[in-house]
Structure 1
Amino acid sequence: MTRTAQDERAGAQAAEGAIPWRRVVVKLSGEALMGEGPHGLDMPTLERIAADLSAAAALGVEVAVVVGGGNFFRGIAGADKGIERARADSIGMLATVMNALALEYAIEKEGRSARALSAVPMPSLCEPFSRQAALHHLGKGRVVVLAGGTGNPFFTTDTGAALRGAELSCDLIMKATQVDGVYSADPKRDPSATRYETLTHDEAIAKSLAVMDTAAFALARENRIPIIVFSIREPGAISAALQGRGRFSLVRP
């Protein structure tokens, strides 16, 4: 099926499903890109997620992606090994740029235009982030891949996603995880963990739920941006969550 035919079919599906989201930011961890491997990039996983992002954009939704770098380097882990925290976080920002470039390539291989923008300027590799540039590319139907976190140390890419969500006037933050929603504890470690179908930002902060950090929840709360937490492990997970299908938790104002 050609890209045009795919877009037309997806557009018809979107009309039937009445997708309420005009512009979204997807928070994708670096670990999600390594598949079952111990580190780095797993190409089948990268291609599957790129296809899902492309399909989401074909639904008529403007899609931005904030990507982490934990499959290569985590700043907090580097700090635990003795690297100065600010410097360790800077190394982690570089890791997110590597992932963004790989994801940009994989999305374009799917036939969907994409642009990698970095909060840490490195113009020989990708475009520096600015709100105007990101909105321009989103308006052209491109998937915008946002690297470099906030551009500052001591902030997670979760906070970066909430910041970009507010800055780009997004209607929704989509937190892609390895589990199918928000739980009272890590369900992989605690079989008795309770899954939440819906909860508020205030409840997530008060309960210290670890699916996102407190700064990210607070930013989303202040800007009244809902958050969908879902599993990225299944093909089509992003498109399904956008259309209200599948299992996910909704964190709402």
Structure 2
Amino acid sequence: MYKRVLLKISGEALAAGRGFGIDAIFVSRVASEIVQLANNGSQVAVVVGGGNFFRGVAEQAIHMDRVAADHMGMLSTVINAIAMQDAIEKLGIQCRVMSAIEMHEVAEPYIRRRAIRHLEKGRVVIFGAGTGNPYFSTDTAAALRAMEIRADVLLKATSVEGIFSADPKKDPDATMFQTITYMDIIKMGLRVMDTSAVSLCNDNNMPMVIFSMREEGNIVRVVSGEKLGTLVTS
């Protein structure tokens, strides 16, 4: 259904419940789904978070300068990007890591036209280091990169099935939305992603699907058009 997609994966997801570090088995599972998409003809870009190592707004950074803490968080995303790249290339698909912070020995610098060219050649592209700027989350980076590469859809893989009216872990009466608008997310104060990312997607008519990645195969199902999770539109 979607020719070019941008997949946002949180760092916490890569830890697979461990809280810290990388679960190699889980990373391999996600990599196999990405490779399956590439083999099916989809162009796949990925933005990874870094919360499994360090987050600039976490308690561990409470006494740190925000800019320094955010830079540490950006470097954490590059660690995850390299791990994902290794897992994908072991399955036979070429993959490029592009970093918003220049580190030539381990990643290419992010250049929009080069990223699009990689996608056109069938390579998977992983964007690391967020936007390269402090005070912006990887959610905002995912929204920005999705629009820069002209993705058909932004996919956000989470630990829950979609967007709920309340936290389903705390409120048993919470109901899941099949579809919702970005403005409704803002009005209802739903903590789906950063407000800046929501506004960016809304202003540029970028559709987004939020779905659970707990079940194996869900990434492929969403891209193929199966109705999973919550569809967010302008």
User: What's the CA shift for 1:139?
Assistant: 0.6
State the match for 1:123 in structure 2: 104
1:42-121 equivalences in 2 (<5 Å): 42-77=23-58, 80-121=61-102
Aligned pair count reads 234
Task: Give 3-state SS (helix, strand or coil) of 1:26's partner.
Answer: strand
State the match for 2:192 in structure 1: 211
Structure-2 change in CA distance of 1:208 and 1:169 (3 Å): same
User: What's the CA shift for 1:38?
Assistant: 2.5
CA-based RMSD of the aligned residues comes to 1.2
User: What's the CA shift for 1:154?
Assistant: 0.3
Query: In 2, are the aligned partners of 1:78 and 1:85 still within 8 Å (CA)?
Result: no
Query: In 2, are the aligned partners of 1:23 and 1:62 still within 8 Å (CA)?
Result: yes
Q: Deviations over 1:122-178 (max 9, x none)?
A: 011110111011101101111100001010000010000000011111110001100
User: What's the CA shift for 1:80?
Assistant: 4.8
Amino acid at match of 1:174: L
The 2-side partners of 1:128 and 1:138 are apart by 15
The 1-side partners of 2:25 and 2:60 are apart by 31
Query: In 1, are the aligned partners of 2:61 and 2:69 still within 8 Å (CA)?
Result: no
Query: In 2, are the aligned partners of 1:208 and 1:214 still within 8 Å (CA)?
Result: no
Task: Give 3-state SS (helix, strand or coil) of 1:46's partner.
Answer: helix
Amino acid at match of 1:96: T
Query: In 2, are the aligned partners of 1:29 and 1:67 still within 8 Å (CA)?
Result: yes
State the match for 1:134 in structure 2: 115
Task: Give 3-state SS (helix, strand or coil) of 2:125's partner.
Answer: strand
State the match for 1:226 in structure 2: 207
State the match for 1:23 in structure 2: 4
The 2-side partners of 1:192 and 1:100 are apart by 37
The 2-side partners of 1:208 and 1:96 are apart by 27
- Identity among equivalent positions (%) equals 47
Task: Give 3-state SS (helix, strand or coil) of 2:57's partner.
Answer: helix
Is 1:165 aligned to 2:146, yes or no? yes
Query: In 2, are the aligned partners of 1:237 and 1:246 still within 8 Å (CA)?
Result: no
When normalised by structure 1's length, the TM-score is 0.90
State the match for 1:9 in structure 2: none
The 1-side partners of 2:29 and 2:159 are apart by 15
Query: In 2, are the aligned partners of 1:93 and 1:147 still within 8 Å (CA)?
Result: yes
State the match for 1:39 in structure 2: 20
The 2-side partners of 1:180 and 1:52 are apart by 18
Is 1:181 aligned to 2:172, yes or no? no
Q: Deviations over 1:38-68 (max 9, x none)?
A: 3100110010001111112222111100000
Give every structure 1 segment of 4 or more consecutive aligned residues whose post-TM-superposition deviation is greater than 3 Å: none
The more displaced of 187-196 and 148-157 is 187-196
When normalised by structure 2's length, the TM-score is 0.97
> Which of 180, 185, 193 is residue 199 of structure 1 equivalent to?
180
Q: Structure 2: where are the runs of 5+ without partners?
A: none
Query: In 2, are the aligned partners of 1:67 and 1:96 still within 8 Å (CA)?
Result: yes
Q: Structure 1: where are the runs of 5+ without partners?
A: 1-18
Amino acid at match of 2:181: T
The 2-side partners of 1:78 and 1:135 are apart by 37
